[in-house]
Amino acid sequence: MEIFDSLLFALPVADVSSAFWDSTMPGKIIVILLFIGSAMAWTIMYTKGVQLRFASRSTVEFLETFRSERNPTALFASDEEFAGTPLNTIYNAGCIALGNELSTHGIDPDDVLLADQTSEMHRRLTLHQLETLRSVVDRNVADEALNLEDQMGMLATAVSAAPFLGLLGTVWGVMDAFSGMAASGSAALSAVAPGISGALLTTIVGLIVALPSMVGYNTLSSQIRRISVQMDNFAQEFISEIQNTYVIEG
């Protein structure tokens, strides 16, 4: 405990409040902007993290339920919803598109989509219609991928812009400090130390904003990539099941 206390006393303690008030007006504005950016970044990381964790759990539940059914439209027939997972939206869009394609052959979509089993009379889907269905599913996969990446651009901006904005404030503050020293004609360190301390504060704040944002961005991007791969795999699996169940043989 004594060693810990001695280390605390040995470390330099920066008076952030004094450094802020000693900085120039541009420096104060930059620090305030960085704090606002930090609040936005933390808000995005929290809300996006909650969304992606919920989506990951719902995706696992959806895939387990979908693969446990013999008929690819069984979940649609049971009207079971899996909130949070983009796979549910892709699946519903695919089933609706399937019903629309089968209706061109005079088949009532309710007879197919709301039935537990599919009879041979329902095997009317052509390969051309299957490609149309594939396009609908792929389009919804792309839309859901964009929804998952929503607001990630703002977080990436915080990662890349915050250090440079802090550096701008530091350079500006140092220039002002040396200009003030030249105007006063004094080369004493005490004349420029407060201004330089305030100038360096912007770099510190910029790094404080950028480092957690970088960790959060990489973590969220990894989760988005995993869910995106699951969406692509499900799209292929769903189309394959539709082909085996509804496409005309031969």
Residue carrying the six token digits 């990446």: 149
pLDDT surpassing 90 at residue 43: yes
Q: Are 158 and 116 in contact (CB under 8 A)?
A: no
pLDDT surpassing 60 at residue 12: no
pLDDT band at 173 (very low <50, low <70, confident <90, very high): confident
Distance linking the first and last C-alpha atoms of the chain: 81
pLDDT surpassing 80 at residue 249: no
Give me the mean pLDDT over the 50-59 stretch.
Answer: 94
Helix (H, G, I), strand (E, B) or coil at 14: coil
pLDDT surpassing 50 at residue 7: no
Give me the mean pLDDT over the 201-229 stretch.
Answer: 92
- What does the alpha-carbon distance between residue 113 and residue 247 come to, in Å, rounded to a whole number? 15
Q: Which residues contact 102 (CB under 8 A, 6 or more apart)?
A: 109, 112, 122, 124, 125, 246
Q: Which residues contact 243 (CB under 8 A, 6 or more apart)?
A: 125, 130
CA dihedral for 196, 197, 198, 204, sign (positive or negative): positive
User: So what's the pLDDT on residue 28?
Assistant: 82
Of 152, 169, 165, 151, residue with least CA distance to 209: 165
pLDDT surpassing 80 at residue 16: no
Give me the mean pLDDT over the 190-203 stretch.
Answer: 70
> Longest C-alpha distance within the chain, in Å?
97
Q: Which two tokens stand for residue 133?
A: 């269905």
Q: Looking at per-residue confidence, does 168 or 23 come out higher? A: 168
User: pLDDT tens-digit profile of 55-93?
Assistant: 999 999 999 999 988 888 888 878 777 888 999 999 999
User: So what's the pLDDT on residue 224?
Assistant: 95
Q: Are 73 and 218 in contact (CB under 8 A)?
A: no
Give me the mean pLDDT over the 42-65 stretch.
Answer: 94
pLDDT surpassing 50 at residue 4: no
| Range with lowest mean pLDDT among 65-69, 77-81, 200-204, 229-233 | 77-81
pLDDT surpassing 70 at residue 111: no
User: So what's the pLDDT on residue 72?
Assistant: 86
Q: Which two tokens stand for residue 192?
A: 């420029």
User: pLDDT tens-digit profile of 123-158?
Assistant: 677 888 889 999 999 999 999 999 999 999 999 999
Q: Are 129 and 101 in contact (CB under 8 A)?
A: yes
Average pLDDT, the chain: 81
Alpha helices in the chain (DSSP H): 2-10, 16-22, 25-68, 74-78, 86-103, 109-113, 127-148, 152-184, 189-246
User: So what's the pLDDT on residue 8?
Assistant: 46
pLDDT band at 223 (very low <50, low <70, confident <90, very high): very high
In a 10 Å sphere around its CB, with 0-12 CB exposed, 13-18 middle and 19+ buried, how is residue 64 labelled?
Answer: exposed
Q: Are 228 and 149 in contact (CB under 8 A)?
A: no
